[in-house]
Structure 1
């Protein structure tokens, strides 16, 4: 039996990169999964691959009604909800504040925060009642940018830092009925897109020239992550058997970013 046998989860942003890896791993571990994303074609492909283990909803996480539809569809298909995974996000292509035109700043801020922060809050709000019934959990995808500068531009890093406070406050407000935790991946080989119109040079994350090599050289473990490298943390945090007393916690999955070095180190003596 898998770690999540008999459980039901809902994953937002579940059709690419880390999101789809979480969905596949949850199904492997015995869960049935609701999947919400914007791209209907990718959702259909996921249904073809995973069959009746998933139910999909095309929607926008920044809209309350779409989040509610995703929760309702999951409950209708599977009868309950044990875990809500907030995962949908957009990048800002490392865009600095002084590179954003003053007339564009307010709109860019609102669009990115509507997805990366408001989207998590809306999903959480829609899932609360169902999770209280099962005494379930919430898990949110953060980033090493939630703790350190340089992993994105001003909007992305600010949004990810805000989510640390969101997790702690939700864990405080929803205890003891619902556990709230997060996973903070580092650089990952994923086609994550940047906010439209913010930076004319932007490309999907894993198409940035030199991205894989630079990410590998930046951390002590010496390699870029694949989306699947992070999924065990999401399984552990959703597990009732093995993390029942874990809340307000964020697991770092970033190759040791905090202890990164500036370059090759001299041989150690003795």
Structure 2
């Protein structure tokens, strides 16, 4: 059976990088990544897997960059079996009554519309590669903020709630196409986003909410990216049709087989 072929967005560091590494090292997949910055960490991973990792520089908020990523992936490996939509931004942080209006559209483009920008050009290839026995799979990286509320996180929370809705809708629309969709909450992960919260949050977040994240960091309770990353990668390779359309926690016992870290 040919190796799986997937695109991972936002893979320059942190969770996205961990997902890409697990797909390569554990699942033997061919992986293309789409990200704005080619970091030293991603360059090192590409050097480790020169024939199986294709790094594509681009902006997920631009439809043409997403379409180019799909075209280059299919041109290199002849098919596409999955997507992991991890790219996102917490900005603009601030109360919804105060965030700059000119920041709203870029936020929605990066956090929500980017999913449509890549699924639309990818779907024909996903359908072509899929079968009832081996469906294609799309994982949307969500957040606990999608079902909660933090002061100053309004745009991010709204966007992640939209990702959950997209997973449900895509799943309903693709029942006959053997393409599965899942929205996953990765938990509070030790990434640059957490550094951004600790830097910007004290000026805009509610003190008790800010304290939660400070305490998680100081207590060493932030998740290593490899923990949820291993589960998300596993879902992108093997999630069953029975979960398609759901919003799930990375620690859901149904996915325990992929907890490699």
TM range (shorter): 0.7 to 0.9
C-alpha distance in structure 2 between counterparts of 1:180 and 1:7, whole Å: 16
Cα deviation 1:74-128 (Å, max 9, x = unaligned)? 111111111111110011375222443xxx2x21111111100011111111210
Aligned twin of 1:268: none
Q: How does 1:27-46 map to 2 (within 5 A)?
A: 27-28=24-25, 29-42=27-40, 43-46=42-45
Pick the structure with greater CA Rg.
1
Q: What is the RMSD computed on CA atoms of the aligned residues? A: 3.0
TM-score, length-normalised on structure 2? 0.80
Aligned twin of 1:113: 108
Aligned twin of 1:89: 88
1:152–1:77 distance in 2 versus 1, CA, 3 Å: farther
C-alpha distance in structure 1 between counterparts of 2:95 and 2:51, whole Å: 44
C-alpha distance in structure 2 between counterparts of 1:129 and 1:149, whole Å: 36
Aligned twin of 2:117: 122
Cα deviation 1:125-164 (Å, max 9, x = unaligned)? 1210110001211111001111111286111111111111
C-alpha distance in structure 1 between counterparts of 2:167 and 2:211, whole Å: 34
Contact 1:31 1:53 in 2 (8 A): yes
Gaps of 5+ in 2: 131-135, 205-209, 253-261
C-alpha distance in structure 2 between counterparts of 1:84 and 1:229, whole Å: 19
Q: CA deviation at 1:212?
A: 5.3
1:160–1:215 distance in 2 versus 1, CA, 3 Å: farther
Aligned twin of 1:182: 183
C-alpha distance in structure 2 between counterparts of 1:190 and 1:93, whole Å: 18
Contact 1:144 1:254 in 2 (8 A): no
Identify the match of residue 229 of structure 2 among 204, 228, 231. Answer: 231
Cα deviation 1:144-199 (Å, max 9, x = unaligned)? 111111286111111111111111111111122211112112211001386xxx99
Gaps of 5+ in 1: 203-207, 256-270
